Amino acid sequence: MSDLPWLASLLKSRNTIDGKIATLIGHTAQVGNVAEYIAATIFHIELDESGKRRGYDGHFTSGPLAGQTIDVQWHPRRDGQMNIKTDALPDYYLVFTGPETTTPSFANPWLIDSIFLFHAGELLNALRERGVQLGSGTSVTGPLWERAEIYPIPRNTRLRVSEEERKLLILFS
């Protein structure tokens, strides 16, 4: 017996959910757009209205990083890779990751297990020192990730996650 009726039912459900997410966030229901919405809400980021700024998605509106530009990324699997744009750098990269990948899987659940804040200039210098090729699948070493972590373990103190923000982030774990 064919699984096509079951697949069609699942896709209809997915289309309904994606439509509701798109209506809520005002953009298509893609992982990057959802990440920007979550980051903007929790970390007081004003997103660029056109969504077409080269190199960044918006800027912080308050706190110690007020006015600094930010590129938000969400990698459902924590695989050590980032998208580094060399033509126009933001001041910071804010990266949400899901669980670390240990075994191959077709599923990529949209979970936030960890959040990292990278100062773009410092990250770029460290990558260039190692001779890393920059682009959409830039390999970032474990020590750089560890130093950049702001959630759940606050190793990077440039952006502190408040208790209220932690409660909101737990919703996505």
72 and 94 in contact (C-beta within 8 Å)? yes
How high is the mean pLDDT of the chain?
93
For the domain that residue 143 is a member of, what is the CATH number?
3.40.210
Residue 24 lies in a domain: no
Confidence of residue 52 (pLDDT cuts 50, 70, 90): low
Mean pLDDT across 128-152: 94
* Domain range enclosing 48: 30-170
Q: What is the pLDDT of residue 51?
A: 56
DSSP string over 55-77: S-SEEE-SGGGTT-EEEEEEESS
Give the confidence band of 57 by pLDDT, cuts at 50, 70, 90. very high
| 107 band by pLDDT with thresholds 50, 70 and 90 | confident
pLDDT-wise least confident of 58-67, 93-102, 163-172: 93-102
If one counts the domains in the chain, the total is 1
Give the integer Cα–Cα distance in Å for 164 and 48.
25
- Flag whether 69 is in a domain: yes
Asked if residue 98 is part of any domain, the answer here is: yes
Residue 21 maps to a domain: no
Asked whether residue 22 is domain-assigned, the answer is no
3-state secondary structure (DSSP) of residue 172:
coil
Rg over alpha carbons for the chain, rounded to the nearest Å, is 17
pLDDT-derived band at 53, boundaries 50, 70, 90: low
Residue 101 has a pLDDT of 74
pLDDT over 70 at 133, yes or no: yes
- Helix then strand then coil, % of the chain, to nearest 5: 35, 20, 45
pLDDT at residue 100, as a whole number: 85
Per-residue pLDDT at 88: 83
136 within domain boundaries: yes
Q: Is residue 23 part of a domain?
A: no
Mean pLDDT of the region 92-97: 97
Question: Is 13 contained in some domain?
Answer: no
pLDDT surpassing 90 at residue 127? yes
Predicted pLDDT of residue 135: 87
The values of phi and psi at residue 109, to 5°, are -65, 140
